[in-house]
C-alpha cells in the first residue's frame, strides 16, 4: 500500500508500507489525519519516534522503520534524497504506557533517529527552509516505511499481529497509526522457498 496523505505547496508527506497487502482497515483514520498535518520542515527529528507492539517471536531490527526525506529545487541547486534508519531506542521509558493491553506473548519496541541522523535531518531542514524563504520553488517528500521484521521458522499457528504508534512532536505525544496487522497475511503470496530463505537469513543475523 502506498497512501499519499498530504500535499502542502510542492511538499508531499506520505506513509509507505512495504507490505502491499495491508488492509486499509488496519490504518487508523485519526493516524492518517495526524500524519497529514506533519510539517517535515519544522518537526524536531529528535522527537520522531515509532513504537511497535509485536508477538515475541517476531524480531524487530534496527531499521525496521525507515524515513525518506528529500527535496529537488526547480533551479537545480538542491538535490536531497536521504534515507534514515530508525533504530531501537533502548533508553525509552515510554513503551509500556502506550498500550493498555500487552499479552504475555507480546512486547513493545521503540525506535528513534540516532544523533548523527537527526543532525543531518536538521541540516536538510535548514537548507530547504532557506531556499523556500528566498521564494524559490521545488518539490519535496517525507515518508515513513516499515521493513526489516524477522519471522520465525516454522511459523506458529496463531496470528502474528503488529500495532504501530507514531510520534512526530513530543508535546503531541504518540498516536496510533496501524492496528492488528497480521504479518503472516503479508507473506501469503511469497514463494515458500523465498520465505524460508528470508527466515534463515534472519536467524543468522
Beta strand pairing call for 138-146 and 65-73: antiparallel
Which residue, chain included where needed, has cell 519516534? 49
SS3 at position 91:
coil
Delimit the domains of the chain by residue range: 2-204
- Does residue 124 carry a pLDDT above 90? yes
Cα 23 to Cα 187: distance, rounded to the nearest angstrom: 13
More reliable by pLDDT, 174 or 95: 174
Residue 205 has what pLDDT? 54
Q: Read off the pLDDT of residues 141-196 as tens digits, 9 standing for 90 and up.
A: 888 877 767 777 777 888 888 888 888 888 888 888 888 877 777 666 666 676 66
Local confidence band at 32 (pLDDT 50, 70, 90 cut-offs): confident
Entry pTM:
0.76
Most confidently modeled range among 20-29, 112-121, 178-187, 192-201: 112-121
For the CA atoms of 174, 175, 176, 177, the dihedral, rounded to the nearest 10 degrees, stands at: -110
Amino acid at each position: 500500500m502506498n497512501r499519499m496523505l498530504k500535499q502542502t505547496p510542492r511538499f508531499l508527506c506520505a506513509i509507505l508500507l512495504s507490505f502491499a497487502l495491508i488492509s486499509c482497515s488496519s490504518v487508523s483514520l485519526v493516524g492518517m489525519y495526524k500524519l497529514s498535518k506533519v510539517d517535515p520542515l519544522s518537526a524536531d527529528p529528535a522527537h520522531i519516534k515509532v513504537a511497535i507492539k509485536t508477538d515475541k517471536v517476531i524480531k524487530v531490527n534496527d531499521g525496521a522503520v525507515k524515513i525518506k526525506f528529500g527535496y529537488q529545487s526547480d533551479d537545480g541547486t538542491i538535490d536531497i534524497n536521504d534515507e534514515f534508519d530508525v533504530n531501537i531506542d533502548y533508553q525509552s521509558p515510554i513503551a509500556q504506557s502506550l498500550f493498555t493491553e500487552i499479552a504475555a506473548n507480546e512486547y513493545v519496541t521503540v525506535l528513534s533517529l540516532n544523533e548523527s541522523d537527526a543532525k543531518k535531518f536538521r541540516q536538510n531542514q535548514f537548507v530547504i527552509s532557506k531556499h523556500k524563504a528566498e521564494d524559490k520553488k521545488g518539490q519535496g517528500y517525507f515518508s515513513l516505511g516499515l521493513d526489516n521484521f524477522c519471522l520465525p521458522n516454522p511459523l506458529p499457528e496463531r496470528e502474528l499481529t503488529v500495532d504501530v504508534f507514531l510520534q512526530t512532536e513530543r508535546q503531541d505525544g504518540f498516536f496510533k497509526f496501524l492496528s492488528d496487522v497480521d504479518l503472516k497475511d503479508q507473506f501469503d503470496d511469497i514463494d515458500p522457498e523465498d520465505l524460508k530463505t528470508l527466515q534463515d537469513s534472519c536467524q543468522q543475523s
